[in-house]
Structure 1
């Protein structure tokens, strides 16, 4: 078949398709395929002709050829997703609808007809996801699953599978210790010393309030973290807050050293931590601080530096409207109730109340590290410091 004949067949096929004659269109396009001259445009037109003829199986086969040439072809992904739904292959269709959302994350500025088609695809995808979620939940409930009583971890896995939750993993900005679990908030039963720390909440507040009233001991937390980032092997990105003065810190212990005179004014606060396995690294840790977040402040999603430690928050002053998210879990601070979390999992905080939020923050060694591993991690981080000093 000459190029002129190929071009003529293509034009005739398109004219037949526009005229509502899919059988003739299919014949013209198939003649090009038989000649070995079909490109992605021909396969796409052939898939549209099969669709008009009601042959959805052949439509899928033809549009698959387009995706072999161009897997990111928006029109081809949409055609294949719709055809798979028509064939009852809903789960397969979801992958193509999902890929469309990756290819075109924002519909703003698109021509109205294209935006309408892609919006329809998103609605179809959402309906499929909801249908899958409802079906799977019903099936596991038949097997004995109960959302309130069964394994929380299994419930999370179901939510991640069906798209109700995201998968979050530890992503430390500097140092990664392998084979530690990805847990957002840790079970308090692992930390028997928490009761002693919480029992000192009133004493801590009595030491904190005069310091707050003086208003001179808190400095921007972001600046402190920027300094600490220079102590590690590598880092990328950092915490972002709505305004630098919205998130401030007053240190009792910083880089392993007591901060006088502030530490001397808070003996009960520090005494309550005597039985805590604080992260200890020469020249770097432990640190203990009061962290203040002003009304309206938002700490944008970010991750911490080292997964060899966990972070503890003891809420001291907590107005209504303050929340904290780690991974998929959002919690409200409760005065006097410590939580322990992995700060290398994406987290954020917001004070949507009318008062100032203050929590005591301190780091502990990860409980799954052995004594030898703690010793070696500390030596390694100290070596980073001495390398910089040299």
Structure 2
């Protein structure tokens, strides 16, 4: 007798046990099948059904989950013979998850949870995933994984926010000159661009620079003297010929900056929202922030992030980059010298582009 026939016979016996209400015997027969054929989708689905009917929700959940995983490992296609069972498994897993979430809510109400603990619960429930720093060019180890920083922890924030009305006035003067802004992602025809997307060379996302790649743009600073002077006491990440960049960042109505990671993780990106005419948001990792005029937000752009202007008018923020506060003075000097040496050797700026 072949092993396939033996497996089929055991599956048939399990089915007959289940039909007769002998659930422990049915489960034992199916466990015997799965010992020899651990990815047998039919056996896993039937085991889930047996355990569900017997009121063993946790065991049913494990069997249904294993069945769906086995299908994915086999290519993801659902054979017609399993379609009903798969749909039943998915529906029941959804019910289990809802019940589990309701239990946790009863024991630990969401409204009473701390922010970080609430994130951990969402990850456990599968409502969120783990987002980590993944800079595309330079990674500095052992830095905390923080998506949004608390502006209250930065002593320069109140003074900058207080200048919002004056900076807004200077911005309005720049906006009156339609030629002042240029695409944030400029097209460089002499360089290959295999990751090109719709915003390259597109003024839906555009910029007016006060500093660009570490160089002060004197003409633009002269047009916005209050804005330029506001950075005298802010710890911009100064990298010769590369950083900082300080700019009015403009996002037209409906424009969407797709998910991406920044270049390095030794800096933080800061926004001072100046024009927020309606719903507009920034997602960093699992958190979504809605801009408010005059309220600074600070985030780690080496974590996956995206943004969208859902309003019917233009959104503008004052965007700039600062050193991560966790870096010591020595580490900042080392990073600046190192990235400068790389740029000198390769002829390419490490902190350039997005």
Q: TM-score range by the shorter chain?
A: 0.7 to 0.9
Name the structure, 1 or 2, with higher relative contact order (CA <8 Å, separation 6+). 2
The answer to whether structure 1 residue 79 and structure 2 residue 46 are counterparts is yes
Deviations 1:315-358 (A, max 9, x none): 00111121221122222110010011111222111111110000
Taking the TM superposition and a 5 Å limit, the aligned residue runs for 1:202-351 are 202-223=165-186, 241=199, 244-351=202-309
Deviations 1:285-319 (A, max 9, x none): 11111111111111122221211111111100111
1 CA distance for matches of 2:64 and 2:195? Answer: 32
Q: Which of 156, 162, 166 is matched with 2:119 structurally? A: 156
Deviations 1:208-231 (A, max 9, x none): 11221211122222237x89x99x
RMSD: 3.3
1 CA distance for matches of 2:81 and 2:200? Answer: 38
Q: Which runs of 4+ in 1 moved over 6 A?
A: 108-113
> Greater Rg, structure 1 or structure 2?
1
The answer to whether structure 1 residue 365 and structure 2 residue 323 are counterparts is yes
Provide the aligned length of Structure 1 versus Structure 2: 344
Q: Which of 78, 101, 123 is matched with 1:133 structurally? A: 101
Taking the TM superposition and a 5 Å limit, the aligned residue runs for 1:1-20 are 6=1
Q: State the TM-score, normalizing by the size of structure 2.
A: 0.84
Q: How far did 1:58 drift? A: 4.5
Q: Which runs of 5+ in 2 are unaligned?
A: 349-354
Q: State the TM-score, normalizing by the size of structure 1.
A: 0.77
User: Structure 1 residues 55, 179: closer, same or farther in 2, change over 3 A?
Assistant: farther
Q: Which runs of 5+ in 1 are unaligned?
A: 1-5, 7-31
Aligned to 1:184: 147
1 CA distance for matches of 2:79 and 2:216? Answer: 62
SS of aligned partner of 2:148: coil
User: Structure 1 residues 117, 388: closer, same or farther in 2, change over 3 A?
Assistant: same
Please say if residues 143 and 326 of structure 2, whose CA atoms lie closer than 8 Å, have aligned partners that are also in contact. yes
Please say if residues 131 and 304 of structure 2, whose CA atoms lie closer than 8 Å, have aligned partners that are also in contact. yes
Q: How far did 1:275 drift? A: 1.1
User: Structure 1 residues 249, 39: closer, same or farther in 2, change over 3 A?
Assistant: farther
Please say if residues 183 and 200 of structure 2, whose CA atoms lie closer than 8 Å, have aligned partners that are also in contact. no
The answer to whether structure 1 residue 388 and structure 2 residue 351 are counterparts is no
